[in-house]
């Protein structure tokens, strides 16, 4: 009897110790991204004190993070589902290209103003909705569907301007990149506004709770009567909205629309989301994690640039630091990573 009691106590103690270890690991995972960001800020501040913390450079960092933040926000909800969206480069480039042809430009007589901007963004939303629809209805993995649409969007973009990009001549849009409030560029304010919208959706709506639930185990919300397919389609549509806004702002900042606006935007966004602590397996993370992740990527890029690091070496350093950050922030499990 005593032996049985001791065995029971031992099993209970082992279970309690395991739960305690998992909770400790979870807390470390949550704070690790902030520690990485703080370490980078302290490191670059110590090396370039008079430059890195200057008002001009801080403003540059805020300007630099706007478009990556928008793209990463769109990707966050998708990854929280346990899915992935690889259409980013194409969607962003397509939105910027279409926008430049719908507003006053050097290639045609269109002069739709802000309506042209809205239509270009809506085109990206439609692409996102189509990706989500094909994914849930045809049961094709999200990475395959979105990867295909990356090239479809690239084709649409390049066909739209026929190899010669349209230069924007709309007087208002030309001035937008120069506008700032409280020293912060208006493009950054747009990203901040979208961040607040996304955070509100995540934290204060039923839809936000459904995203977590579907990402954790979609069978549970489905049994509770949640339209899981609708949630997935709306998430991909929201991603398209964020990619579209990023493409339009990229075109406005560049002053013309071309496919190059979107090239190379996918990796930093994915890295930022994962480095921030959002789990690839779904159900964990969120917008605050992504904000921290984008800050890590942006501060790292800015700091290495201030140090005049060779571009090739800089790429290697970025990859190494991102790998270390991911190792610190990602929770490893036996769960399938991508749907």
Query: What's the confidence (pLDDT) of residue 13?
Result: 59
Q: From first to last of its 339 residues, what are the pLDDT tens digits of the chain?
A: 555 555 555 655 565 565 555 555 556 667 888 888 999 999 999 887 778 888 888 888 999 999 999 999 999 999 999 999 999 999 999 999 999 999 999 999 899 999 999 999 999 999 999 999 999 999 999 999 999 999 999 999 999 998 899 999 999 999 999 998 888 899 999 999 999 999 999 999 999 999 999 998 899 999 999 999 999 999 999 999 999 999 999 999 999 999 999 998 988 898 899 888 888 878 888 999 999 999 999 998 899 888 888 888 877 877 787 777 666 655 555 554 556
26, 29, 30, 323 from 326: Cα distances, Å: 14, 10, 12, 5
Confidence at residue 246, expressed as pLDDT on a 0 to 100 scale: 97
Residue-level pLDDT at 22:
54
pLDDT for position 274:
87
C-alpha span between 262 and 265 (Å, rounded): 6
Helix/strand number for the chain, H first, E second: 14, 4
Give the closest residue to 93 by CA, choosing from 175, 132, 151, 162.
151
How far, in Å, are 41, 60, 217, 307, 316 from residue 210 at the CA level?
A: 36, 37, 10, 44, 38
Domain assignment of residue 5, yes or no: no
Residue 251 sits in a domain whose CATH number is 1.10.3470
Alpha helices in 103-227 (DSSP H): 114-138, 142-161, 171-175, 186-204, 206-217, 219-223
Q: What is the total count of domains within the chain?
A: 1
Residue 2 within any structural domain of the chain: no
Domain that holds residue 233: 32-329
> Does residue 136 lie in a domain region?
yes
Tokens of 123: 């085109």
Does 238 reside within a domain? yes
Residue 183 confidence (pLDDT): 83
pLDDT of residue 50: 79
Does any domain span residue 14? no
Residue 278, in any domain of the structure: yes
Is residue 92 a contact partner of residue 262, using CB atoms and an 8 Å limit? yes
- Give the pTM: 0.88
334: in domain: no
Look at residue 151 and tell me if it is in a domain.
Answer: yes
């Amino acid at each position: 009897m005593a032996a049985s009691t001791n065995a029971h106590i031992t099993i209970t103690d082992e279970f309690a110790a395991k739960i305690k270890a998992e909770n400790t690991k979870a807390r470390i995972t949550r704070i690790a991204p902030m520690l990485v960001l703080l370490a980078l800020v302290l490191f670059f501040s110590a090396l370039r004190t008079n430059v890195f913390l200057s008002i001009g450079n801080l403003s540059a960092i805020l300007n630099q993070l706007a478009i990556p933040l928008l793209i990463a926000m769109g990707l966050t909800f998708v990854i929280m589902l346990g899915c992935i969206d690889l259409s980013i480069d194409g969607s962003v480039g397509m939105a910027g290209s279409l926008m430049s042809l719908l507003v006053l430009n050097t290639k045609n007589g269109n002069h739709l103003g802000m309506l042209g901007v809205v239509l270009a963004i809506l085109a990206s939303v439609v692409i996102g909705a189509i990706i989500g629809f094909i994914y849930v209805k045809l049961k094709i993995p999200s990475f395959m569907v979105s990867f295909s649409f990356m090239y479809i969007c690239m084709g649409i973009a390049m066909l739209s301007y026929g190899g010669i990009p349209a230069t924007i001549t709309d007087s208002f849009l030309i001035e937008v990149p120069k506008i700032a409030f409280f020293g912060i560029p208006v493009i950054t304010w747009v990203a901040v506004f979208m961040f607040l919208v996304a955070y509100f959706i995540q934290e204060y709506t039923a839809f936000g709770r459904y995203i977590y639930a579907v990402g954790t185990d979609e069978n549970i919300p489905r049994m509770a009567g949640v339209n899981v397919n609708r949630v997935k389609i709306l998430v991909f549509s929201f991603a398209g909205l964020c990619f579209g806004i990023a493409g339009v702002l990229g075109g406005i900042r560049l002053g013309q629309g071309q496919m190059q606006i979107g090239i190379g935007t996918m990796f930093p966004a994915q890295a930022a989301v994962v480095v921030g602590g959002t789990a690839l397996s779904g159900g964990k993370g969120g917008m605050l994690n992504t904000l921290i992740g984008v800050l890590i990527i942006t501060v790292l890029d800015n700091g290495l640039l201030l140090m005049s690091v060779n571009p090739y070496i800089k790429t290697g350093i970025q990859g190494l630091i991102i790998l270390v950050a991911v190792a610190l922030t990602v929770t490893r499990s036996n769960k399938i990573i991508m749907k």
